[in-house]
Amino acid sequence: MEFLPKDIETYTEAHTEAESELLRALARETHAKVLRPRMLSGHLQGRFLALLSRLLRPRRILEIGTYTGYSALCLCEGLATDGTLTTLDVNEELESLTRRYFEQSGYASRIDYRLGPAAAIIPQLDETFDLVFIDADKLNYLTYYQLLIDKVRPGGLILADNVLWSGKVVPVPGQRIDKDTQALLDFNRTVHEDPRVSNLLLPIRDGLMILQKNS
Backbone torsion region of residue 22, taken as left when φ is above 0, otherwise alpha when ψ lies between -120 and 50, otherwise beta: alpha
pLDDT tens for residues 45-55? 999 999 999 99
Q: State residue 1's pLDDT score.
A: 62
Q: Percentage of residues in the chain with pLDDT exceeding 90?
A: 87
Going by pLDDT thresholds of 50, 70 and 90, the confidence category of residue 39 is confident
pLDDT tens for residues 101-155? 999 999 999 999 999 999 999 999 999 999 999 999 999 999 999 999 999 999 9
Q: Which domains does the chain have, with CATH numbers?
A: 6-75+82-213 (3.40.50.150)
Query: Which residues have C-beta within 8 Å of that of residue 199, sequence separation ≥ 6?
Result: 191, 192, 209, 210, 211, 212
- Residues in the chain, total: 215
Q: State residue 116's pLDDT score.
A: 97
Of residues 141 and 40, the one with the higher pLDDT is 141
DSSP 71: H
Going by pLDDT thresholds of 50, 70 and 90, the confidence category of residue 159 is very high
Q: Is 130 strand, coil or helix? A: strand
- Whether 6 shows a pLDDT value over 90: the answer reads no
Mean of the per-residue pLDDT values of the chain = 95
Q: State residue 105's pLDDT score.
A: 97
CB 214 within 8 A of CB 195: yes
pLDDT tens for residues 185-196? 999 999 999 999
The DSSP bridge pattern shows strands 129-134 and 84-89 to be unpaired
CB 157 within 8 A of CB 208: no
